Structure 1
Amino acid sequence: MTVRLSKQARREQLLDAAVALVRSRGADGLTLVTLAEAAGVSRPIVYDHFGTRSGLLIELYRRLDERHKTAIEAAVREAAPELDDVARVIGAAYFACVSEMPELAAVSAAVKGTPETEAVQRELLDGYVELMAAALAPYSKLGADALRLRCVGVLGAAEALASRPGGEEALVALIVGGLLPRRC
């Protein structure tokens, strides 16, 4: 006997199955058809929830991004109220999410390339920038716009450093160094 799920519960089930598919087959192995098969539902159910593969990837990206952001927010709340500690927990949380959620990078790469997906990536990046800027603002004499720009740079560096030995320490140094006053 098949249990009928609410629309939201079914969506969550499908997204859980999508994460598992990306983890086992990579983002290229995730299609609406493979998702329907993996979730044990008919194709029309998957199409009804996501419409297109792009729609599926965007929703999956949003979900993974929200998990990542939630982990960073929790880490920042637990940090001692000192710049080095806040920078350290931001770096540690970022690197923990990268290692614990490898599917995030795969889905991020898969959503690149269309105006719709680029807009979603920009929206989510802006959310990280705001999160970081809010966490770091008490330790910075920079104006809000300058601080946000430095956070954009730090996030770009974080992505580049994610696969490098010593990357976490380098990221923390960049965060702290980016908030220090300029020397002439």
Structure 2
Amino acid sequence: MPTPSQRLSKQARREQLLDTAMAIVRGRSTDELTLQTLAEAAGVSRPIVYDHFGTRPGLLFALYQRLEERHRSATEQALRNAGGSPGEVAGVMSAAYFACATDMPEFTAISAALKGSREMELSQREMLDAYTALMADALRRHSDLGIEELRLRCVGVLGAAEAIAAELNSGRITASVAVAALTDLIVGGVTAR
């Protein structure tokens, strides 16, 4: 890793700052992540951090986007390798979802920290819509539901997935139980009339 005195490209510096911010969230909490604490931890001046993120919500949202992109990318990759049955597709989606929940537990904390900002909530909604569309596209060939009805069921399944992820992250259930439950919900939701 470069020393603070080494000049990084703007994109490389942003990635370094996001890595450092994620370490702060993991090691402490979202409450402890400010632009000042990030600057100190990254060994850069505050104006550099302000230049990249502008505000604390801007920083939190950049972290949220990064995690969302990784989650969506992992799901897309997993779906490319999915078998042909509804259960196999649902199982792959469920495993990818909970891998994200366990590999990126900060996702929930960062999302919660963004609540209350209208702009951020609209952007989060757009990302959720994109993920819902990905899910519906993967399940469309396995369902007799109309496009809008399938989309709505995917929204419901994602709400259930979030609740199951909370159970998983609290240690109340195992990953295999979470994957099995979500898989059953997906299959039941897209095949039921």
TM-score by length of 2: 0.91
Q: Which residue of 1 aligns with 2:45?
A: 42
Amino acid at match of 1:175: I
Q: For each residue in 1:91-147, what CA deviation from the matched residue of structure 2 results, as whole angstroms up to 9, or x when unmatched? A: 111111101111111111111111011111101110110110111111011111111
Amino acid at match of 1:168: V
| Matches of 1:25 and 1:52, distance apart in 2 | 20
Contact 1:162 1:168 in 2 (8 A): no
2:121 corresponds to which of 118, 123, 127: 118
Q: Which residue of 2 aligns with 1:80?
A: 83
- Percent same amino acid at aligned positions? 63
Amino acid at match of 2:181: A
For residue 181 of structure 1, report the CA deviation from its aligned partner.
3.8
| Matches of 1:141 and 1:76, distance apart in 2 | 20
Q: Which residue of 2 aligns with 1:177?
A: 188
Alignment pair present for 1:104 and 2:107: yes
| Matches of 2:58 and 2:146, distance apart in 1 | 37
1:9 corresponds to which of 3, 7, 12: 12
| Matches of 2:76 and 2:22, distance apart in 1 | 22
Q: Which residue of 1 aligns with 2:153?
A: 150
Point out where structure 2 has 5 or more consecutive residues left out of the alignment.
168-172
Task: Tell me the SS of whatever aligns to 1:9.
Answer: helix
- Count of paired positions: 182
**Runs of 4+ deviating beyond 4 Å:** none
Point out where structure 1 has 5 or more consecutive residues left out of the alignment.
none
| Matches of 2:103 and 2:192, distance apart in 1 | 35
Q: For each residue in 1:20-68, what CA deviation from the matched residue of structure 2 results, as whole angstroms up to 9, or x when unmatched? A: 1111111111110011011110000000111100111111100111011
TM-score by length of 1: 0.95
